[in-house]
Amino acid sequence: MRTRNRLLAGLNALLLAGLGALTTPSPAHAANLLSNPGFESGTLSGWSCSGGTGSVVGSPVRSGTKALAGAATAGDTARCAQRVPVQPNTTYSLSGWVRGSYVHLGVTGGASTWTSSASDYTRLTVSFTTGATQTSAEVYLHGWYGQGTYHADDISLDGPGGGDDTQAPTAPGNLRVTGTSATSVSLAWDAATDNVGVTGYDVFRGGTPVASVTGTQATVTGLSPNTAYSFTVHAEDRAGNTSPASAAVTATTDEGGGGTPGFVQAAPYLYLGWGNPPNATEVMRATGIKWFTMAFVLAQNGCNPAWDGQRPLTGGVDESTIKAIRAAGGDIVPSIGGWSGNKLGPNCSTPEALAGAYQKVIDAYDLKAIDVDIENTDEFENAVVQDRILTALKIVKQNNPGLKTILTFPTLNTGPNSWGNRLIERAAALQADIDNFTVMPFNFGGGADMYGNTVRATEGLKNKLKSTFGWSDAEAYAHIGISGMNDSSDTGEITTPQIWTQIRDWANSHHIGRLAFWSVNRDRPSWQFTSITAGFTG
């Protein structure tokens, strides 16, 4: 009930803020500045919807034959927006017909209005006045978290068009490929110029728009392995003028489909901050294991990475252990975060600051991969921090060609929960280009079928990745990891060496990308689970 009250209070505050921004409309020429206002084209042409949540439907409609459907989820309000040129110091009237619960209509950075419940199409209207130098405005519609699909039709922005700036930007220059994986291509280009100012870039694959960014680099995901693609980029200015296309560039994705993943890692957890840690190189000699997931990098004095939030990245036991592992032919991936402790995600205030913290860890060890273990209410069940982590991982991946990024997070025994689904959906929407989504299929309850639940949870993850990214079964499995718990879990479940062998064999037969368990410290004295994990081949 308190959650419901907070939601309503937030919505009331939003309404009051919108009402406070209303102005008395001045006379203006009646001209709808929006393109495709009734979605009669049968497409979302002119509109951009978050996370693939928007679609055009034939029913219910207010007029004509088409309308917008926005599929709001627990993690996405299904925001659909369109930017148009306007004139400074001018009053405009925005209106639209909407149907659904908690549907909002407004202008970014300005006035908005909403309806709490409209069982049939209801008209929303709001007015706003542009700023002294404003030459474009973005209008938007969205629903509300967990309130289901809304519908909208006949959206209108009335007022004089922005005719002061008709000069398009120059074409972006020197479009180039900066990295590839089996399912992604990273691009960069030189900035376009404009008489007023460039506001963003649209990346096209062939003739299809696949990414919109404000900077001069992007990663296009959801591609097929060993396939050639052609890309161009257009620049856009504040008045909505679009540049000519850049010169095209062709890139071929890496091999990795057909059951041959491009990234394979057998990496049980090694924790140097707990009890009497085992000697890593002795474990390697006894078991054949090559990789370790080293736990845990936390925050120290704000947004500064440190082992357990206490030990420095260099000059201590952690660095000497990493050097010994590498001298023995192995390597490590740091586990950043975890269930408890003071974590970087909430302590770094911006994605850029968080990316800077990750970069310190990468630079300290010249890493090939990093893992962010995102758990608990401070990171996993926090939409702002989820997005911050995903954006930070996108930044460090763009700045470190070849770096592999891993997300480790809890799961239900049927697949990701609502927060896990949101994490995956936002990874796609933000184009974070995550290489591996690792689930932790345990703590379902004592007496659970650990093999059966692990397989069901992983299959649920596979299905979510397929539906979100458009991947095949092989592509989805190649992006999946399993992180189990040897012997007894926190809730008394038992995973025996025999069960772990079954899980490993299933993982090998489905060619998933990663296998880990918590932990080598608990695998004494025979290192059975570590030896079994060393047989993971992906």
In sequence order, what are the residues at sequence separation of 6 or more whose Cβ sits closer than 8 angstroms to the Cβ of residue 60? Answer: 67, 99, 121, 151
Token digits for 302? 């704000």
Most confident of 46-50, 57-61, 299-303: 299-303
The structure tokens listed for 334 are 């740091």
Q: What is the pLDDT of residues 441-483, one digit of tens each?
A: 999 988 889 999 999 999 999 999 999 998 889 889 999 999 9
The reported pLDDT for the residue numbered 20 is 35
270 and 246: one domain?
no
pLDDT band at 164 (very low <50, low <70, confident <90, very high): low
CATH code: domain of residue 67: 2.60.120.260
User: Is the pLDDT score of 21 beyond 50?
Assistant: no
Say yes or no: 234 and 335 in one domain: no
Whether 375 is a known active-site residue: answer yes
- Residue 238: predicted pLDDT: 66
Among residues 138, 375, 381, 459, the one annotated as catalytic is 375
- Look at the block and give the residue holding tokens 């490993």: 504
Cβ(272)–Cβ(248) below 8 Å: no
Same domain flag for 465 and 329: yes
Assign residue 272 a region (left: φ > 0; alpha: ψ between -120 and 50; beta: otherwise): alpha
Range of the domain at 182: 173-252
218-247 average pLDDT score: 84
Digit-coded pLDDT (tens) for 489-537? 989 999 999 999 999 999 999 999 999 999 999 999 999 999 999 999 8
- CATH code of the domain covering residue 195: 2.60.40.10
What's the mean pLDDT in 369-383?
A: 97
CA–CA gap between residue 316 and residue 48 (Å, rounded): 50
Token pair in block for residue 393: 């991982």
pLDDT of residue 478: 93
3 state SS for 26-65? CCCCCCECCCCCCCCCCCCCCCEEHHHCEEEECCCCCCCC
- Tens of pLDDT, residue by residue over 288-303, are 999 999 999 999 999 9
Average pLDDT value for residue range 255-282: 80
Beta bridge partners of 203: 211, 233
* 259 falls within a domain: no
Instruction: Check whether residue 211 and residue 344 sit in a common domain.
Output: no
Total tally of structural domains belonging to the chain: 3
Sign of CA dihedral 94, 95, 98, 104: positive
Q: Check whether residue 221 and residue 347 sit in a common domain.
A: no
- Confidence (pLDDT) at 189: 93
Tokens linked to 53: 């949540």
Q: What is the structure's pLDDT at 216?
A: 87
